[in-house]
With several copies, the nearest count.
Chain A
Amino acid sequence: MFTVRIQAGQFDAAAEIAALAQGRTDIGAVVTFTGLCRDDIAPGGARLVALTLEHYPGMAEEEIARLVEEARTRWPLTGATVIHRFGRMIPGDNIVLVVTASSHRTAAFEAAEFLMDWLKTRAPFWKLEEREAARSWVAAKDTDDTAAGRWG
């Protein structure tokens, strides 16, 4: 089963693992990645109050579905689920979930990392930070491009 969802609401990692594994006995490894809104502090000392995630409806689903298809051509996956939230998040909230299932652990790990690396650089989402004394768009990171680039 391969699923992509873009949603405002919370997700439940356990329910998504269960949905992928239910009734199957050919899965040897399930890897999950959960990305959370982190309570970081800017160099100037301004504490994060919230992140608002804006997205490009339609393209977000299509682009992530293309990444999942690409992962399936590279690794023998028995299933994958990607959920990305939009809207306003406070520190501690879930933002993104990637679940990959395979008969072997290396495929599950590599596919999850691949999906996260490319999600960061290709999925049309933008984070607006609200800090105690400021608000500003999060700049894309060179390290994300580098991480994605290693998949060649």
Chain B
Amino acid sequence: MKILYFAWVRERIGLEAEEVDPPASVRTVADLAAFLKERGEGYAHAFENPSVVRAALDRTHARPDTPLGAAREVAFFPPMTGG
């Protein structure tokens, strides 16, 4: 599974993208965020307040309880500030 990070999530983790193979127990977006949070200091900082981190599955907005299903690309990012 390809994971992308944007804006300050990217800066805190120090990566734009990585390949991750989470265990079968990781079923939802929130599960994946909790799994990633344990990977190190930068991740812990990025996900310290999971409620302000948004996610997209295969380029479509997702909610914390959205099942990962067969998603090939998952992105984590702060609330958007475009426009």
User: Do A and B touch each other in the complex, judged by CB within 8 A?
Assistant: yes
Interface residues of A (CB under 8 A from B): 35, 53-56, 58-59, 62-63, 84, 95-96, 105, 116, 119-128, 137-141, 144
> Which residue on B lies nearest to A127, using beta carbons?
B81
How far is A119 from B81 in the complex, measured between Cα atoms in Å? 9
- Number of B residues with CB within 8 Å of any CB on chain A: 16
The 8 Å CB contact of A138, one of B4, B61, B81, is B81
B8–A123 contact, CB under 8 A? no
Interface SS of chain A? mixed
B56–A56 contact, CB under 8 A? yes
> Which residue on B lies nearest to A86, using beta carbons?
B82
Assess A124 versus B81: contact at CB under 8 Å? Given A56-B4, A56-B75, A137-B8.
no
B26 CB to nearest chain A CB (Å): 22
The 8 Å CB contact of B7, one of A54, A63, A84, is A54
> Which residue on B lies nearest to A85, using beta carbons?
B82
CB-CB contacts of B1-13 with A at 8 A, as 1s and 0s?
0001011100000
B83–A56 contact, CB under 8 A? no
Ordered by A's residue number, 18 sampled pairs between the chains whose C-beta atoms are within 8 Å are: A35-B83, A54-B7, A56-B6, A59-B56, A59-B59, A59-B75, A63-B59, A63-B60, A63-B61, A84-B82, A96-B83, A116-B83, A123-B80, A124-B77, A125-B80, A127-B82, A137-B81, A138-B81
